[in-house]
Structure 1
Amino acid sequence: MANSNPTAETGNEKLPFWKRSHYLDRMTLKQLIVAYFQHYTIVAYLGLTAACVVAFAFFPTTPIRAIASFAAALIVYPLVWHLLHQYVLHGQWMYKIKPLASTWKRIHYDHHQDPNHLEVLFGALHTTVPTIFLATAPVGYLIGGVGGICAAFAGGLLTTCYYEFMHCIQHLAFKPRWKWVQHMKQRHVEHHYFDEDGNYGITNYFWDRVLGTYYIKKDRPKRSPTVFNLGYDEAIAAKWPYVKDLSGGIASGHPRRRVKGKEGFDPNASKNTIAQ
């Protein structure tokens, strides 16, 4: 059962909301909704969407072109996200480049280290906003000029809000009532706790099916040994130590079992390995 007071064990209840640590496996749906609409990234996405509406008023296009631009963004977005997730977030190259190591750690390594840690679940604005714009603006411009850009960018921003909320739901300690959400959640849980090499779509697995990365647990005989560290282990860290230095060590095994005498305990990982 979810802890009704998820901050009690941290002793930091008096701190401002986002100065505390929040874990989705200890939160209720109501607590998540409150947290979601308080997070600065969601506030920023909604604010940028409003800015798109204002900009559209100054640079309008026809209703048909606006709708087509918005719809095109919804179609393009899942493919762009899938490719970025598979080849950038799960790529074995960013941690090798010192200026990019902290970005890779923040945008995905920390999330896989502890998938239920809410603070690092939301994407960082300096990486997400430019990506959303580059993924949607060109198609919007081709369809409807500057007004099309506004419509397509707004579509990408709202889709991101949907992705972020559903992503939170997939890590929340409750069983969704709807079958399609249960299916979505199960595939994502397998990505985090069984084999990270597949099910990249988060909310849409169409491209996983097309590109051959879709799976269900029974299709793969063994749990991936790198499901929590994305392949960044002690051997890799010896050659490229940037993420290890930022994290205060290398943690392994299930995040809830990383205590002395339990699976994956690493005496060198005494610092917070999932700090932003």
Structure 2
Amino acid sequence: MSTLGKFFKEAPLMRKGRSHDLGKMNLAQLWSAYLTYPIIMLYFLLIIGTAVLSVYLSHNIWLSLIPIPVVIAVYPTAWYMIHRYILHGRWFYRNPITASMWKRIHFDHHQDPHLLEVLFGSPLNTVPTMMVITMPIGAIISGWSGAFSALSTALVMTCIYEFFHCIQHLAYKPRWNWVVYIKQLHVLHHFHDEDGNYGITNYLPDRLLGTFYREAKERPRSPYVFNLGYTVEEAERYPWVMKKTGAPPRDRPDPARAPRREELNRRA
């Protein structure tokens, strides 16, 4: 298999044991795993390649830079919409064509939030999505140079998002208050109510669209926080995800991994 093929090769899912268990890793171990992880290395290569193409195709370097702040402003909202309406959309698992993709891109992550292999999305899904969202914006502003500038920005932002996403599931108490804050919000999303706090580093769309909540006591605990609505009853009716998993969906995390209630209720 080629090197590029290895980058896109899916890691075995829902197996016994974890090769990268964020619940047992410290920050130094995360840096080592993150910087050497094939998907992240691929993103780094794509960042360099798209940046070089942007400069090579540019007729006005300043015009080619304009898509950067535009993408920085637009990307959090795009991520919010994808996370809320696609990754948490139940219609994906009800279709045999899309069930496998839905399982890979989000269901597995909610079933085992500490497993690094399913925290990162597959590049076969993430890269085309980034291209569709950002390249037209850049192209409108400054042609092909702007298109690659916009894509490069999205790739950089994705790398940043994914690193902080790892920290939010890491057995590590951040020293920076802002990181403590976003970590607590994301823990609520995974262990209290999945229909809120869709952001990773930016929760402005959540605030504007009414899905933000700061503490567990602000809303009841969702019965679907761990299975995203893909219950045993749903699995019997739409079995394709369950067949891929090899086991019925779980409706609660490993008790050893559930965050303590006082941590959920604690203020930043």
Q: Distance in 2 between matches of 1:257 and 1:179?
A: 27
Residue matched to 1:29:
27
Give 3-state SS (helix, strand or coil) of 2:98's partner: helix
Gaps of 5+ in 2: 1-16, 257-268
2:148 to 129, 147, 150: 150
**Aligned equivalent of 2:83:** 85
* Distance in 1 (alpha carbons) for counterparts of 2:70 and 2:97: 34
CA distance in 1, matches of 2:82, 2:194: 14
Which residue in 1 is equivalent to 2:40? 42
TM-score normalised by the chain length of structure 2: 0.86
Query: In 1, Cα distance between the equivalents of 2:18 and 2:222?
Result: 32
Q: Once the 2 structures are TM-superposed, how far is the Cα of residue 160 of structure 1 from its aligned partner?
A: 0.3
> 1:117 is matched with which residue?
115
Equivalent residue pairs, number: 240
Moved more, 29-38 or 19-28: 19-28
Please identify, of 187-196 and 61-70, the stretch whose mean Cα deviation from structure 2 is larger. 61-70
How far does the alpha carbon of each residue in 1:58-112 deviate from its partner, in whole angstroms, 9 at most, with x for none? 2114233222111111111111100000000000100011111111001000000
Deviations 1:204-258, CA, capped at 9 Å, x for gaps: 1010001111112245342111111001011111110001111112242443239
Identity of aligned residues (%): 46
- TM-score by length of structure 1 reads 0.84
The answer (yes or no) to whether the contact 1:56–1:151 under 8 Å persists in 2 is yes
Distance 1:221 1:133 in 2: 36
Cα distance change, pair 20–223 in 1 and its aligned pair in 2 (3 A): closer
Q: 2:106 aligns with which of 108, 116, 138?
A: 108
Aligned to 2:93: 95
Matching residue within 175, 181, 184 for 1:183: 181
Amino acid at match of 2:67: S
- Please give the root-mean-square deviation of Cα atoms over the aligned residues, in Å: 1.5
What is the letter of the counterpart of residue 171 of structure 1?
H
Runs of 4 or more above 4 Å deviation: none
Deviations along 1:154-190, one digit per CA (max 9) or x if unpaired, are 0000000000000000000111111111111110000
- Paired position in structure 2 for 1:174: 172
